[in-house]
């Protein structure tokens, strides 16, 4: 089944404790992206990757890191999480950047205490 | 000014009516335009994409694009209760994808 998977789906952590949210797709897509969704602010792009070893900042990259060492994986790293990073995070992938369908993962609900 | 703006809603229409959702964007270099639907507690899913001026129809859905006015709209004909969701307008100037804040649609039986 073609899909984007994220892990974990739910995470409660404390300020400053490094964490990684994994994202994997099995559709051989070149494009992958991370978004956060907050009430009243909609979906905001954190980082995106047009291909392996190519990453670019979205609109809200501060406090996040990403890497794209393999085509199928695009982990999101929070080196020192803070409460303002409490949010619903979505990973998405697509055949090409911004000009084609993006398929979203199920979401990761992160709470930083 | 926000880069992509939508009517905040909620928009309520009776079953069988036409629902009209609107979106404006600020970047004139934008080339690709999308409408996503998001049910409560679920991930967004693409319902329409449009790249050139005019109308694009897909079943009960019609997307309209006017680049001169920097305006995108989505019409849902014969609205059904199952169409009740939040509709997200997204615009791509290339690489990035910028979403509006979404319009909540409620279709009343």
Q: Is the Cβ of A96 closer than 8 Å to some Cβ of chain B?
A: no
- Angle A101-A107-A109 from CA coordinates, rounded to 5°: 155
Residue B70: what pLDDT?
Answer: 95
Q: Which residues of chain B have pLDDT under 70?
A: 1-2
Which chain B residues contact residue A97 at CB under 8 A?
92, 94-95
Percent of chain A with pLDDT over 70: 97
Q: Which residues contact B28 (CB under 8 A, 6 or more apart)?
A: B67, B70
Q: Which residues contact B48 (CB under 8 A, 6 or more apart)?
A: B34, B35, B56, B58, B61, B63, B74
Q: Tell me: the pLDDT tens digits for B40-49?
A: 999 999 999 9
Contact B43 A90 (CB under 8 A): yes
Which chain B residues contact residue A100 at CB under 8 A?
49
Q: CA–CA separation, B6 vs A55, rounded Å?
A: 29
Backbone φ, ψ for residue B81 (5° rounding): -55, -30
Q: Is the Cβ of A109 closer than 8 Å to some Cβ of chain B?
A: no
């Amino acid at each position: 089944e073609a899909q984007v998977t994220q892990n974990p789906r739910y995470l409660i952590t404390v300020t400053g404790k490094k964490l990684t949210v994994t994202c994997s797709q099995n559709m051989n897509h070149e494009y992958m992206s991370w978004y956060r969704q907050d009430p009243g602010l909609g979906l905001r792009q954190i980082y995106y990757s047009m291909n392996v070893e190519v990453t670019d900042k979205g609109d809200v990259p501060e406090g996040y890191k990403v890497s794209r060492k393999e085509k199928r994986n695009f982990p999101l790293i929070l080196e020192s999480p803070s409460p303002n990073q409490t949010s619903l995070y979505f990973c998405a992938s697509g055949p090409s950047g911004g000009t084609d369908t993006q398929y979203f993962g199920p979401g990761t609900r992160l709470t930083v205490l | 000014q926000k880069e992509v703006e939508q009517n905040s809603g909620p928009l309520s229409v009776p079953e069988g009516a036409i629902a009209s959702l609107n979106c404006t964007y600020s970047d004139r270099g934008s080339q690709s335009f999308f409408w996503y639907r998001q049910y409560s507690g679920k991930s967004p899913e693409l319902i329409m994409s449009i790249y050139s001026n005019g109308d694009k129809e897909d079943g009960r859905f019609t997307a309209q694009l006017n680049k001169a006015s920097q305006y995108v709209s989505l019409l849902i004909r014969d609205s059904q209760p199952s169409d009740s969701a939040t509709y997200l307008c997204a615009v791509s100037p290339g690489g990035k994808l910028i979403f509006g804040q979404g319009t909540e649609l409620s279709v009343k039986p």
